Amino acid sequence: MTRIKRPLFGGAIQAFLPEGAIDASSIRIVPNNQEVFMHVQSDQSVIIEILERVDEVSDENAIKYHFDALAEANDANNIQDHIINRIEPIPINSLIVQRLTSAWYLFGQQQISKYHEQAKNLVHIHVCLLRLGGDLATDILISFNDPVFISEQSSSNDQQNQNASRWTLHDFEQFFRSLEIVDYGLFVTESNNSNLQSNDVDMS
């Protein structure tokens, strides 16, 4: 599958995505800390999020924390609705991103109701967590949502093309392994956070 280098977050980050990936911001509102790309025929999606680093837990539990947060956002809060199948570390030297303290991969599945519908779809979720250290204190979360069972009552059923060439785990791996930070000014450092707090004006 042909891949194209795509600028993310105004060009501060770049990575290779499959040709034809649709930028979700062209059709709906996407939060400023996210970039979302969709497969036009399979209802698959890749999401990259810039998040505050979770320091209260270990690195391995941090990716569990983020997976649970995704489950909450997807209304898959019940234990049977979100399952973790595998967690493993990713060697830092296999990635392009600099200033990493660790990197992790998680494979799980969630029962997701699209648009808060009653019908639930089974979605395999692959997650890559890139942890930036030092004063950056940032978690970069990259997730690949891959629907494997679509309910006939789901609105996603109309968007599925069974003959479409689907994205694969290899495509996802190529995305996060090609990810490169061009401008570290994208991230708010801890020192800047301290300056902002010290400059706050008491309006009471």
Helix (H, G, I), strand (E, B) or coil at 190: helix
Mean pLDDT per 10-residue run, the chain (204 residues)?
A: 90 94 92 94 92 89 93 80 93 94 95 68 94 91 90 53 79 96 85 42 32
pLDDT of residue 116: 61
Tell me how many domains the chain contains.
Answer: 1
* Residue 184 falls inside a structural domain: yes
Cβ-based neighbours of 8, under 8 Å, separated by 6 or more: 14, 15, 35, 48
The CATH number of residue 24's host domain is 3.40.1000.10
* Residue 116 falls inside a structural domain: yes
> In whole angstroms, what is the distance from residue 113 CA to residue 22 CA?
22
pLDDT of residue 30: 92
Residue type at position 58: S
pLDDT of residue 82: 86
* Residue 115 falls inside a structural domain: yes
Identify any residues that bridge with 52 across adjacent strands, giving them in sequence order.
138
Count other Cβ atoms within 10 Å, centred on residue 92: 14
* Residue 203 falls inside a structural domain: no
Find the domain containing 21 and state its range: 3-198
* Residue 124 falls inside a structural domain: yes
* Residue 204 falls inside a structural domain: no
Strand locations in the chain, DSSP E? 3-8, 13-18, 22-23, 34-38, 45-52, 82-89, 100-112, 121-132, 138-149, 180-181
pLDDT of residue 159: 54
* Residue 172 falls inside a structural domain: yes
pLDDT of residue 56: 84
* Residue 45 falls inside a structural domain: yes
